[in-house]
Every structure is written in C-alpha cells, then in structure tokens.
Amino acid sequence: MKYQIVIEKRAEKFIRKQTKDNQVRLLTAIYKLPFVGDIKPMEGTPGNYRLRVGTFRVIYTVEHEIVTVRVLDAGNRGDVYK
C-alpha cells in the first residue's frame, strides 16, 4: 500500500536550506517511509518516529486510517529534538 507523504512547513523549510545533494538524500529517504530506513519510535511522544539520514533526523507520524505519513520536522542530529 502506498502512503501519501505530507511534509509540514517547518520540515520543508529546513530541507530547502540544504545543498542539492542533501535535499535529494532527505527526500529520497522520506518518500520510502513508513517502512524503510533507519527508523525508531520516539520515547516520550507515542506515535512519533524518527528517521536517520546521515547526520540529519526526520521526525514523522503515521496515520494508518487515512494512509498518510506526516513529516513534522527535520534537522541536524542535536537540534531537531529541542
């Protein structure tokens, strides 16, 4: 089943600021969600997951009822969790 990907404004803004190579890496990894990649559930926020793409992290949630992956945030490893 193919999930629709929705990228929130905050994550989109971060991705647009990256170099073209990093944009391609991030978007390629995002469009493989929700089942492929270095994925872990986030502690303290049930229903949220993190995807590791090199030194970047992508925070997302999966809405199975409406077959959607909502990308909430993206950022550098230390900054995205704040």
Domain annotation covers residue 36: yes
**Residue 32 amino acid letter:** K
Would you say residue 82 has pLDDT above 90? Answer: no
**What per-residue confidence (pLDDT) applies to 21?**
97
Would you say residue 6 has pLDDT above 90? Answer: yes
How do residues 37-50 score in pLDDT, each as one tens digit?
999 999 988 999 99
* DSSP E strands, 1-82: 4-7, 38-41, 48-53, 56-63, 68-76
Read off the pLDDT of each residue in 22-42 and give the average, rounded to a whole number. 94
Domain of residue 13 covers 4-76
Domain annotation covers residue 82: no
- We report the CATH number of the domain holding residue 8 as 3.30.2310.20
